[in-house]
Amino acid sequence: MWCVMLHPELPANENQRIATLQSLSLLDTPAEEKLDRITRMASNIFDVPIALVSLVDANRQWFKSKVGLDACETSREISFCGHAIAQGELLCIEDAQQDERFVDNPLVTGDPNIRFYAGQPLRHPNGSALGTLCLIDSKPRHFSADDASRLKELAAVTELELLRSSSPTMDDISQLTNKEGFLTLGKFSQAVCKQYNLSMSVAFLHLQGLLAIKYDEQNYHRAVRKIADKFKGHFRGSDLVARYDEFSFVALVPNASKESVSVRLNQVINELNIEFAQSENFSDLQLCAGYASSVPDTSLESLVFDAFASIQI
């Protein structure tokens, strides 16, 4: 049967989608290890030769991260990812040669000889589908419901990392997201928690005595970075860790019990207090912490306040 390749349809919110994508200033930027780690992980988990973070511009799909593919971009007209963002949900093609939309697509009839494709749209907090996290193989394969669930989870992490990459709201000293970035990116984490009916917890770490060394810039910066590194090191890559203000750090932790958050906080406090006590420069510093959990509908500001209010100084 003679087939004619179908071009991807445009999403209903195409103008908003393009404006959102361009506002992030991600297109044509250098590769980033945190995103390359995700595509390497996707390639290994699903045992596929190609994994991509694809951003779909007006006329092309451009690869922010890639494993197993030399090309940096392709035309949107022939892109599988264009179909995925138009569909607005996971697009799975188990055998492209058996699908009339793709059987004569040049990416199927020629390099990279796509047979299998699975692409999960990557969404901005405003709902715009920016592109996909996608898997590609040159042979047909089955994609189970469990596979789909795992890809969606990886895509959620990818969405967060894309927003982190685009955000100018970074604290220069700690190299963590600052308060503005925390509240902005946190809305996305809230949306994911709400979608999957997950709880949210906030861990709050407060530093006493920092003011005493603030005017010793070298030691002040060292103390902030030491706390930031230790605090971040006890949380997952999917958790949102930030320097909330001059004396406080926070972590937004999806799908974790208050008990597990408490354990992590106590580990951070114990390790840092021991280090501070042994240092002449930091002996006056002391940490205390609090935490709170709630449903995703609770405002982040309220959840942070509850975590702060739980501190017993």
Q: What are phi and psi of 25, to 5 degrees?
A: 55, 40
- Both 69 and 45 in one domain: the answer is yes
Which of these three, 166, 189, 216, is where a domain ends? 166
- Both 155 and 185 in one domain: the answer is no
Q: What is the DSSP string of 90-148?
A: -EEES-GGG-TTTTT-HHHHSTT---EEEEEEEE-TTS-EEEEEEEEESS-----HHHH
- Both 31 and 148 in one domain: the answer is yes
Q: What is the pLDDT, as a whole number, of residue 212?
A: 65
Q: Are strands 240-245 and 248-254 parallel, antiparallel or unpaired?
A: antiparallel
105 within 8 A of 37, measured Cβ to Cβ? no
Domain range for residue 253? 179-309
- Both 145 and 210 in one domain: the answer is no
Q: What are phi and psi of 206, to 5 degrees?
A: -115, 135
**222 CB neighbour count, 10 Å cutoff:** 16
Residue 172 inside a domain? The answer is no
- Both 224 and 288 in one domain: the answer is yes
Contacts of 116 (CB under 8 A, 6+ apart): 48, 93, 94, 95, 96, 135, 136, 137, 138, 139, 140, 141, 143
Q: Which of 157, 192, 7 is nearest to 86 (CA)?
A: 7
> Structurally, how many domains does the chain consist of?
2
At 151, is the secondary structure helix, strand, or coil? helix
CB-hemisphere CA count at 13 Å for 7? 8
Give the full edge-to-edge strand order of the sheet including 50-56.
73-75, 60-67, 50-56, 129-137, 116-123, 91-93
- Both 217 and 285 in one domain: the answer is yes
- Both 188 and 144 in one domain: the answer is no
- Both 203 and 145 in one domain: the answer is no
Rounded-to-integer distance, Cα 132 and Cα 91, Å: 10
Signed CA dihedral, 138, 143, 147, 151: sign only: positive
Rounded-to-integer distance, Cα 55 and Cα 60, Å: 8
**224 CB neighbour count, 10 Å cutoff:** 22
- Both 110 and 200 in one domain: the answer is no
Reading the chain (313 residues) residue by residue, the pLDDT tens digits are 445 667 888 999 999 999 999 988 899 999 999 899 999 999 999 999 999 999 999 999 999 999 999 999 999 999 999 999 999 999 999 999 999 889 999 999 999 999 999 999 999 988 899 999 999 999 999 999 999 999 999 998 899 889 878 766 778 899 898 988 888 888 777 777 777 788 888 999 988 776 667 667 788 888 889 899 999 999 887 788 999 988 899 999 888 877 888 888 889 988 988 888 887 777 777 788 888 887 767 788 888 899 889 886 5
At 280, is the secondary structure helix, strand, or coil? coil
- The CATH number of whichever domain residue 32 belongs to comes to 3.30.450.40
Which of these three, 115, 134, 166, is where a domain ends? 166
Q: What is the pLDDT, as a whole number, of residue 313?
A: 56
Residue 152 inside a domain? The answer is yes
293 within 8 A of 308, measured Cβ to Cβ? no
Q: What are phi and psi of 202, to 5 degrees?
A: -120, 130
- For residue 38, what are the CA distances in angstroms to 55, 67, 151, 192, 204? 15, 10, 11, 18, 28
- Both 135 and 206 in one domain: the answer is no
The one-letter code for the residue type at 26 is L
